[in-house]
Amino acid sequence: MSTVAAYAAPAAKAPLERTTVERRPVGEFDVLIDIKYAGICHSDIHQARDGWGEGIYPMVPGHEIAGLVSEVGPGVTRFAVGDRVGVGCFVDSCRTCEYCEQGLEQFCVKGMTGTYNALDKNGEPTYGGYSTHIVVDENYTVRIPDALALDVAAPLLCAGITLYSPLRHWNAGPGKKVAILGLGGLGHMGVKIADALGAEVTVLSQSLRKKDDGLRLGADHYYATSDPATFERLASSFDLIVSTVSAPLDMDAFLSLLKTDGVFVNVGAPEEPNSLNMGSLIGGRKTLAGSMIGGIAETQEMLDFCAAHGLGSEIELISADQVNEAYERVVASDVRYRFVIDAATI
Ligand SMILES: [Zn+2]
Ligand SMILES: [Zn+2]
């Protein structure tokens, strides 16, 4: 065991504060990672504040981790000291179920082990990336290509893969019209990735406030959903809509924007239920779907794709003592587009 510095929520709804946590010894297949940067995901805030219930405290959030390998266990074959690596939303899974075998560890039937706010196989709580070091099994560690700076790569480990996976699964590419609903931490990566995949990209945002950003990031079109004319103008337009919004939506209105056989995918997770008229799906053979992060192999594919296309996250780098203030700004949608903690300040 080793004691490392971290920022943790000591209890539900309490502000985060500097503390220490114990990391397990480096096991046979483990890598010790010297964390350089950790992104702040909106789900960190939900969990630190116990918005989803059953939080484990003290809680060290952070599942967008970028750093350097500083020690490897004797059985490690994929990484060496000094390698640039990342860790995303989970650090283990059963490894034997049909989904783990297909590289869909995020859907492990026994449940993936979250990078924080979870219990590992030994029943010990996991602590996330708002920390100086983390010990992770090499099979749940990915390589960050040299072409990506570590600070802008960190948010790719959740925000990047959350958008990359559905865009690939539903074949965003040349000839496809794709809408990204919401231009925040998730949505801005959706715009970049969908554009790089060759799709015609439209941002649907509440207002036109971020229009210049959206077009700069790669969108071809940008419309405000607060304007009813948007829904008339864009009726039956899209092959794919990816919603990053975590509030209930007028589903019938949004489904009307899909072409026949179009797909509406949720990656945002509204806490409230949503309702819709089934007629909105039946007419036009439309699909309402969901997607959650991606497996380890696909996360590596996403990082390689982003490196090849020069796609990092747009970030605001902060020191660790600004984390509580940053949380307030995320809740107020006042960040362009991801806060990243400089772990050297922890
Ligand atoms: Zn996340
Ligand atoms: Zn499994």
Ligand nearest to the CA of 115: 1
Q: How many Å lie between the centroid of ligand 1 and the Cα of residue 44?
A: 7
Q: How many Å lie between the centroid of ligand 1 and the Cα of residue 124?
A: 21
Q: How many Å lie between the centroid of ligand 1 and the Cα of residue 27?
A: 26
Q: How large is the angle between the packed helices 185-197 and 296-309, nearest 10 degrees?
A: 70
What pLDDT is attached to residue 276?
95
List the chain residues with pLDDT less than 70: none
Within the chain, all domains assigned CATH 3.40.50.720 are found at: 160-290
Ligand nearest to the CA of 296: 2
Residue 258: CB atoms within 10 A of its CB come to 27
Ligand nearest to the CA of 330: 1
Residues 72-128: pLDDT tens digits? 999 999 999 999 999 999 999 999 999 999 999 999 999 999 999 999 999 999 999
Burial 214-236 (b: 16+ CB within 10 A, else e): beebbbbbbbbbeeeeebeebee
Cα separation values, 67 from 61, 90, 136, 153, 229, Å: 16, 16, 12, 10, 47
User: Is beta strand 133-137 parallel, antiparallel or unpaired with respect to 30-39?
Assistant: antiparallel
Residues 315-337: pLDDT tens digits? 999 999 999 999 999 999 899 99
Q: How many Å lie between the centroid of ligand 2 and the Cα of residue 250?
A: 35
Residues 259-281: pLDDT tens digits? 999 999 999 988 788 899 999 99
Ligand nearest to the CA of 110: 2
- The CATH number given to 160-290 is 3.40.50.720
Q: How many Å lie between the centroid of ligand 1 and the Cα of residue 252?
A: 28
What pLDDT is attached to residue 1?
75
- The CATH number given to 2-158+294-345 is 3.90.180.10
Within the chain, all domains assigned CATH 3.90.180.10 are found at: 2-158+294-345
Q: How many Å lie between the centroid of ligand 2 and the Cα of residue 151?
A: 31
Q: How many Å lie between the centroid of ligand 1 and the Cα of residue 119?
A: 18
pTM for the predicted model, two decimal places = 0.97
